[in-house]
Amino acid sequence: MSAPLKFVHEFVPGTSERTLLLLHGTGGDEHDLLPLGREIDPGAALLSPRGQVIENGQARFFRRLAQGVFDVEDLKRRTDALADFILDAAERYRFDLAQLVAVGYSNGANITSSMLLRRPTLLRSAVLLRPMVPFEPISPPDLTGVRVWIGGGKEDMIIPRENTERLAAILSAAGAEVTAHFFDGGHALTSVELVLVQRWLRATPPAA
């Protein structure tokens, strides 16, 4: 018998080749983004792990020292653990990593960006909803061919627009094909952006 996967998670099989990796925000869990995943891609398989850090009873993907101030060593360690989980899950559930699209919200978007910067060959496509810079890379990774869709909130009190713009600039400088939109609203997602994500996914061909 194979060893259990190292994150508590949900896996929902799909009817297409694509798998969405769903990464929740602080206080969420593995069930949180399943409806959103179904909404933005009705045919995709869904893989949704639960963050392993507990902060005041709330699950997250890495430790922070204060709001928006990250424990970078912990972030890097947990980024590697999550990346390894994805590799193990691809083997267990037999999905194609080239067809994997990461979809992260808030804290989940931040660990997704961290994976893009630290494990640049793992993800070919990512949707970052309300993200910020996870850490400044010392040397930019090569993200040529990676597609990233970013959604920010114009009045987000948790994540300043400039910070999200800085992330978009870092990813673009690394060679990623970045699309960034800022919506009327704050940290909560808007229905209009989910429609745009849905369209972007439909228009995003599988990675070669």
Binding region for ligand MLT (CB under 6 A):
25-26, 64, 67-68, 106-107, 110, 158
- Least spacing, CB of residue 58 vs ligand MLT, in Å: 9
- Least spacing, CB of residue 27 vs ligand MLT, in Å: 8
How far is Cα 105 from Cα 132, in angstroms, rounded to an integer?
11
Nearer to ligand MLT, 20 or 159 (CB): 159
Strand partners, 105: 129
- Least spacing, CB of residue 158 vs ligand MLT, in Å: 5
Nearer to ligand MLT, 85 or 105 (CB): 105
Classify 158 as helix, strand or coil: coil
Nearer to ligand MLT, 158 or 194 (CB): 158
Among 39, 63, 48, residue whose Cα is nearest residue 13: 48
Do the beta carbons of residue 152 and residue 183 sit within 8 Å? Answer: yes
> Of these residues, 24, 32, 48, 156, which one is catalytic?
156
Classify 170 as helix, strand or coil: helix
- Least spacing, CB of residue 175 vs ligand MLT, in Å: 25
Dihedral class, residue 18 (left if φ above 0, else alpha if ψ from -120 to 50, else beta):
beta
Nearer to ligand MLT, 48 or 107 (CB): 107
Active site residue 187: yes
Active site residue 184: no
Among 89, 83, 87, residue whose Cα is nearest residue 62: 83
Strand partners, 100: 19
As a whole number of Å, the CA-based R_g of the chain is 16
Nearer to ligand MLT, 72 or 207 (CB): 72
Active site residue 16: no
- Least spacing, CB of residue 68 vs ligand MLT, in Å: 5
> Of these residues, 106, 113, 114, 125, which one is catalytic?
106
Among 136, 144, 83, residue whose Cα is nearest residue 112: 83
DSSP state of 40: H
Q: Write out the catalytic residue numbers.
A: 106, 156, 187
